[in-house]
Amino acid sequence: NAGVMQNPRHLVRRRGQEARLRCSPMKGHSHVYWYRQLPEEGLKFMVYLQKENIIDESGMPKERFSAEFPKEGPSILRIQQVVRGDSAAYFCASSPHRGAEETQYFGPGTRLLVL
């Protein structure tokens, strides 16, 4: 059973370009979470999605960031017009059900570098 997959593992963008980060949850998991880890900091919650629905986006910056989890295919975190401050590791996690007791399984992350 493959774990959570994220691609690309590394992404380099110039300021003003768009970044698309993909996350394929574990088989049978319909809940996806995105986190961001800035250098020297812990992981910060961004958004929680179920299939075709955004449940909680309280951690998402108001502009330039969006996320989706379509009925088919991976979850996508999209950052438009990237700036240097967007450079970070972006982790996706998935779980089979909602509930704090359900452990979230993390992917290996996408490291975004904005030049």
User: Which residue, 50 or 81, is less far from other proteins as judged by CB?
Assistant: 50
Cβ count near 101 (within 10 Å): 7
User: Which residue, 59 or 74, is less far from other proteins as judged by CB?
Assistant: 59
Amino acid at 28: G
Note whether 79 binds other proteins by CB under 8 A. Answer: no
Sign (positive/negative) of CA torsion 13, 70, 100, 55? positive
The residues in 6-35 that bind other proteins, with binding defined as CB under 8 A, are 6, 33, 35
* Binding residue (CB under 8 A) for other proteins from 25, 48, 65, 79: 48
* Binding residue (CB under 8 A) for other proteins from 45, 66, 74, 76: 45
Pick the stretch among 11-19, 63-71, 79-87, 93-101 that binds other proteins (CB under 8 A): 93-101
Q: Rg of the chain over CA atoms, in angstroms?
A: 13
Question: Which residue, among 114, 115, 84, 113, has the nearest Cα to 10 in the 3D structure?
Answer: 113
* Binding residue (CB under 8 A) for other proteins from 55, 73, 78, 80: 55
Report whether 62 contacts 46 (CB < 8 A): no
Sign (positive/negative) of CA torsion 74, 31, 107, 20? positive
Residues forming the site for other proteins (CB under 8 A): 4, 6, 33, 35, 40-45, 48, 55-56, 58-59, 91, 93, 98-101, 103-109
